[in-house]
Amino acid sequence: MGTFIFILFLMLLGFVLKKIKIFPEQTSQVLNMFIIYISLPAIIINEVPKITFSSEVLIPVFIAWTTTILGAISILILSKIFKWNRNTTGALLLVAVLGNTSFIGIPMVSHYFGTEGLPYAIIYDQIGSFLALSTYGAVVIAIYSDNGEMSIQCILEKIFKFPPFIALIIAFALNGIEFHPDISKSLSTLGNTLIPLALISVGYNLQLKIPKKDMSPFLVGIANKLILVPTFAFIIVYIFDMEGFITDVSVLESAMGPMITAGVVASMAGLAPKLVSSILGYGIFISIITISIVFQLLS
| Count: domains in the chain | 1
Please choose, from the candidates 96, 94, 95, 104, the residue with its C-alpha nearest in 3D space to the C-alpha of residue 125.
104
Residue 173 in any domain: the answer is yes
Please choose, from the candidates 290, 146, 275, the residue with its C-alpha nearest in 3D space to the C-alpha of residue 202.
275
Domain of 233 in residue numbering reads as: 39-298
User: What is the C-alpha to C-alpha distance for residues 282 and 290, in angstroms, rounded to an integer?
Assistant: 12
Q: How far is CA 57 from the centre of its chain?
A: 20
Residue 80 in any domain: the answer is yes
Q: How far is CA 135 from the centre of its chain?
A: 12
Amino acid identity for residue 47 in this structure: E
pLDDT in the model for residue 147: 53
pLDDT in the model for residue 136: 92
User: What is the C-alpha to C-alpha distance for residues 27 and 258, in angstroms, rounded to an integer?
Assistant: 22
CA dihedral angle for residue 263, residue 114, residue 232, residue 260, rounded to 10 degrees:
0
pLDDT in the model for residue 149: 52
Residue 282 in any domain: the answer is yes
Residue 221 in any domain: the answer is yes
Residue 13 in any domain: the answer is no
pLDDT in the model for residue 165: 84
Whichever domain contains 286, its CATH number is: 1.20.1530.20
Residue 21 in any domain: the answer is no
Query: One digit per residue, pLDDT tens: the chain, 299 residues?
Result: 566 788 788 888 998 998 898 888 888 889 888 988 998 889 889 887 887 777 777 899 999 999 999 999 999 999 999 999 999 999 999 999 999 897 788 778 888 898 788 878 888 988 899 889 888 998 898 889 875 455 667 767 777 888 888 888 898 899 888 899 999 999 999 988 887 888 888 788 777 778 888 899 999 999 999 999 999 999 999 999 999 999 999 999 999 999 988 988 898 888 998 899 889 889 988 998 999 999 999 98
What is the reported pTM? 0.80
Q: What is the DSSP string of 153-172?
A: HHHHHHHHT-HHHHHHHHHH
Residue 26 in any domain: the answer is no
pLDDT in the model for residue 175: 84
